[in-house]
Structure 1
Amino acid sequence: MVYSVLQERIMTRPFGDDGNSFKFSMFLVLCNRLVTCVLAVCCLLWVGESMKPVAPSYGYAAVSLSNVMATTCQYEALKYVTFPLQTLGKCAKMIPVMVWGSIMLQKRYKKRDYVLAVAITTGLMLFFLTGPVSSKKQNARSDAVMWGSALMLGYLGFDGFTSTFQDRLFKGYSMSAYNQMLYVNMFSAAVSFCGLVTSGQLLPALAFIRRHPEALSSIFVLSLSATVGQLFILHTIKKFGALFFAAIMTTRQFLSILVSSALFANPLSTGQWLGTAVVFVALYCKTFLGTKVKPVHPQKSPGRAPIKAGYSTKEGQGTSKEYLISSE
């Protein structure tokens, strides 16, 4: 919840008397990933695991690149559309996960999954068509909604690829969540730093923070809340299972919309509340129907380590790896 509030605060509200807003999304990604790297190192030292990479570098790099792109699209979207629309759009991540799962992992999904995907899409369209969705800065410009929607589609596509490729790493190599967390975020930090340098945003971002030191404290708390959130995520999945965790995440997204409406004056129309209800009812149905987690028995494949039990779920269902990189 802290992460959600600060995300909207940093990207949509001005700092200082000059009325300038923070515009450097990739700098936020860099800060998040650096803090998470520190957490991953501490966790590996705490549990006594080796810090050596388990998978090939290109495996970590592929997840990192898609994750950086997904997170950047998420932050950038807030410049054009409201936070409630962005949050609801993130709820539709099961659709690209299903698409990528069919392509990359040859997964087969049940009719129920397709029905729920259609229900979520219907709720999103209802929200989109029955009330204002552009950010206040854009003054209801139609092109702003178009750009924001395009960025959210980019987020969903890249995020779906990230989740699916994480699944491949867990299934193909015997690695812990902390190992993947360290190297994926290490590569992500490098990618976001290179992006800042090549786009010429690094120095302006540092200059903005120098002029508005309160922005740095908000960015640090944002990064810390996302990072600490990962510890709660891992503990919840380990202790209570993916079902309970999915219910928590769905509730968190709904509460984020309520908080945004209260704190940042983002009132929703009756139709938008109805669309929100359709989306979250569908998500809860997805959570509580067909939810048994099946541990995967170790299997051997040539040149690879056995699969660790506990990292996969029932065929066609999202696995807990979807939330290992960040709580975003």
Structure 2
Amino acid sequence: MGRTKSPPKRREPSEITIEGNGVTKRTGNGRGDVSKMLDKTIIDDGETDKAHAARAAEPGVFNLLACVAAIYGAFLTWSVLQERITTTTYGPASAPQRWTHAIFLNTVQSLLASLVGYAYLFFTTAHPHKPGRPAPIFPSAAITKPLILIAITSSLASPFGYASLKHIDYITFVLAKSCKLLPVLFLHVTLFRKRIALYKFAVVVLVTLGVAVFTLHAPSAAAKAAKHNAKNAAGANKVYGLFLLSVNLLFDGLTNTVQDDIFLKFKTYSSPQMMCAMNILATILTSAYLVLSPYVAPTPIGQYIGMGTGNELAEALSFIKAHPQVGYDVVGFALCGALGQVAIYYTLGKFGSLVLTTVTVTRKMLTMLLSVVWFGHRITRMQWLGVGLVFGGIGGEAGMKVLKKKEAARKQRDRRFSEAGRHRKEAGIKKE
């Protein structure tokens, strides 16, 4: 039997579809229909759908402003309580007493922050395999090691900073702390081999320079520094003080960059989990110090590092018993610190350590500006220059981010239309 030629099929335009019941349906012709067609393709493609969901969940400017407001509000109150705890004189005028138990204070704060952090974890991060339970704080041994590292560095940073003030003047300390962005950026580039955009280097330099100029030209700070220098010029080992301050900055920078690296390597690890882990480990470390210090203080090592009597736990509890108001201030201080940490870890997880460090560094300068407005202090021209540099750097970064987002959106839109054209072509070939 000879082969018969089948009748030719009428080729329909790509915008016309023939449904299974024989009904011919015109879907239209235009870019809007191409987008609809591509939307179906995107939904069918799991990876593209996930990427689209991730972009939709990306935090925006208002989210960042809320984080900044929460950090400023919590830590401004925290700093007021800290000053009241450490500067208030208690007892009779003939035998005044002041609170000097920093490790005990940090232990109470980390303990309360652990509890607040667990509540934050419980209500925001569910266990991936056990409904109704929070995500594990230490999900694997691999993540525990870097968590222990940053718990150690964060616990050691403050003591090194306070110890440096015995050997250097206050203005040097403030200036170096204002340059906190530099070690963070340096460790990002050297330790973790990350490529940083050139404009971010410019932002870091502008913000650091602006805070430095503002601080150096503050009349009250300059007078305080001069007085401090005159009082402590003799016998001050500035080289050793700068070494201690460098260790403090290194620990601060290492803490922030390792936190970034943890979020990068462990994608499912959340900010509430890190907050809990950090504070639990810090509480263990500082509690161990309080318990063991009476036994270490009498040894040559304890005497060399200046541990004193080493009986800080008993002395702190005795002080609170004699002056109950201190106990309320300590609890308030710890609560503000815990709530501030929630805002900090949320900001860290959503925006990264460079943004977080920018917020914490500029908080000091904005606090000084608030003081100027509230109490009517005078700002010098050089200080206004510092303000301009800081906000110029921050504004420039915000502008660059807007431009980058617009460029990314344009490329994504072009890619969608390109994929739509390819799918239309493939659909036409199949119908032939």
TM-score by length of 1: 0.69
**Contact in 1 for aligned 2:137/2:274 (Cα 8 Å):** no
Q: Residues of 2 paired with 1:8 and 1:153: CA distance?
A: 25
Match for residue 64 of structure 1 among 148, 151, 155: 151
Name whichever of 145-154 and 101-110 sits farther off.
Answer: 145-154
Report the counterpart of residue 176 of structure 1 in structure 2: 270
**Contact in 1 for aligned 2:117/2:272 (Cα 8 Å):** yes
| Aligned positions of 1:69-80 closer than 5 A | 69-73=156-160
RMSD: 4.1
* Structure 1: runs of 5+ lacking an equivalent: 295-328
Q: Secondary structure at the match of 1:50?
A: coil
**Contact in 1 for aligned 2:151/2:281 (Cα 8 Å):** yes
Question: Letter of the aligned partner of 1:96 in structure 2?
Answer: P
Deviation at 1:271, TM superposition (A): 7.6
Q: Residues of 1 paired with 2:238 and 2:385: CA distance?
A: 18
Report the counterpart of residue 304 of structure 1 in structure 2: none
Q: Secondary structure at the match of 1:291?
A: helix
Instruction: Show CA shifts across 1:93-122 (max 9, x none).
Output: 211111111222102334433344444454
**Contact in 1 for aligned 2:181/2:358 (Cα 8 Å):** no
Equivalent pairs, count: 290
Residues 204 and 128 of structure 1: is their aligned pair in 2 closer, same or farther, counting only changes over 3 Å?
farther
Instruction: Show CA shifts across 1:252-271 (max 9, x none).
Output: 433433566799x9x78848
Report the counterpart of residue 209 of structure 1 in structure 2: 320
Correspondence 1:14 to 2:89: yes
Question: Letter of the aligned partner of 2:232 in structure 1?
Answer: R
Correspondence 1:161 to 2:254: yes
Instruction: Show CA shifts across 1:269-327 (max 9, x none).
Output: 84883575366336524652533699xxxxxxxxxxxxxxxxxxxxxxxxxxxxxxxxx
Name whichever of 47-56 and 278-287 sits farther off.
Answer: 278-287
Instruction: Show CA shifts across 1:226-262 (max 9, x none).
Output: 11123344667889x6799788656643343356679
Report the counterpart of residue 110 of structure 2 in structure 1: 33
Deviation at 1:150, TM superposition (A): 5.7
Correspondence 1:189 to 2:300: no
Match for residue 257 of structure 1 among 368, 385, 392: 368
Q: Residues of 1 paired with 2:242 and 2:389: CA distance?
A: 17
Report the counterpart of residue 317 of structure 1 in structure 2: none
Instruction: Show CA shifts across 1:73-101 (max 9, x none).
Output: 4566788866x986664442211111111
Deviation at 1:216, TM superposition (A): 1.9
Q: Residues of 2 paired with 1:93 and 1:252: CA distance?
A: 13
Match for residue 114 of structure 1 among 180, 192, 201: 201
Q: Residues of 2 paired with 1:8 and 1:40: CA distance?
A: 25
Q: Residues of 1 paired with 2:347 and 2:197: CA distance?
A: 27
Q: Residues of 1 paired with 2:365 and 2:111: CA distance?
A: 28
Deviation at 1:221, TM superposition (A): 0.9
Identity %: 23
Question: Letter of the aligned partner of 1:154 in structure 2?
Answer: V
Instruction: Show CA shifts across 1:175-202 (max 9, x none).
Output: 1211111111111111112233324122
Q: Residues of 1 paired with 2:239 and 2:321: CA distance?
A: 33
Deviation at 1:60, TM superposition (A): 1.4
Deviation at 1:31, TM superposition (A): 1.3
Q: Residues of 2 paired with 1:144 and 1:259: CA distance?
A: 35
Residues 275 and 156 of structure 1: is their aligned pair in 2 closer, same or farther, counting only changes over 3 Å?
farther
Match for residue 273 of structure 1 among 378, 383, 389: 383
Q: Residues of 1 paired with 2:242 and 2:224: CA distance?
A: 10
Deviation at 1:36, TM superposition (A): 0.7
Q: Residues of 2 paired with 1:262 and 1:16: CA distance?
A: 35
Deviation at 1:65, TM superposition (A): 0.5
Q: Residues of 1 paired with 2:107 and 2:86: CA distance?
A: 15
Q: Residues of 1 paired with 2:276 and 2:198: CA distance?
A: 37
Deviation at 1:69, TM superposition (A): 1.5
Report the counterpart of residue 5 of structure 1 in structure 2: 80
**Contact in 1 for aligned 2:203/2:397 (Cα 8 Å):** no
Residues 149 and 124 of structure 1: is their aligned pair in 2 closer, same or farther, counting only changes over 3 Å?
farther
Residues 167 and 237 of structure 1: is their aligned pair in 2 closer, same or farther, counting only changes over 3 Å?
closer
Question: Letter of the aligned partner of 1:6 in structure 2?
Answer: L
Deviation at 1:7, TM superposition (A): 2.5
* Structure 2: runs of 5+ lacking an equivalent: 1-75, 125-132, 294-306, 406-432
Q: Residues of 2 paired with 1:31 and 1:286: CA distance?
A: 40
Match for residue 219 of structure 1 among 319, 330, 334: 330
Residues 72 and 59 of structure 1: is their aligned pair in 2 closer, same or farther, counting only changes over 3 Å?
same
Report the counterpart of residue 51 of structure 1 in structure 2: 136
**Contact in 2 for aligned 1:88/1:276 (Cα 8 Å):** no
Report the counterpart of residue 230 of structure 1 in structure 2: 341
Deviation at 1:138, TM superposition (A): 8.4
Residues 22 and 85 of structure 1: is their aligned pair in 2 closer, same or farther, counting only changes over 3 Å?
farther
Report the counterpart of residue 401 of structure 2 in structure 1: 291
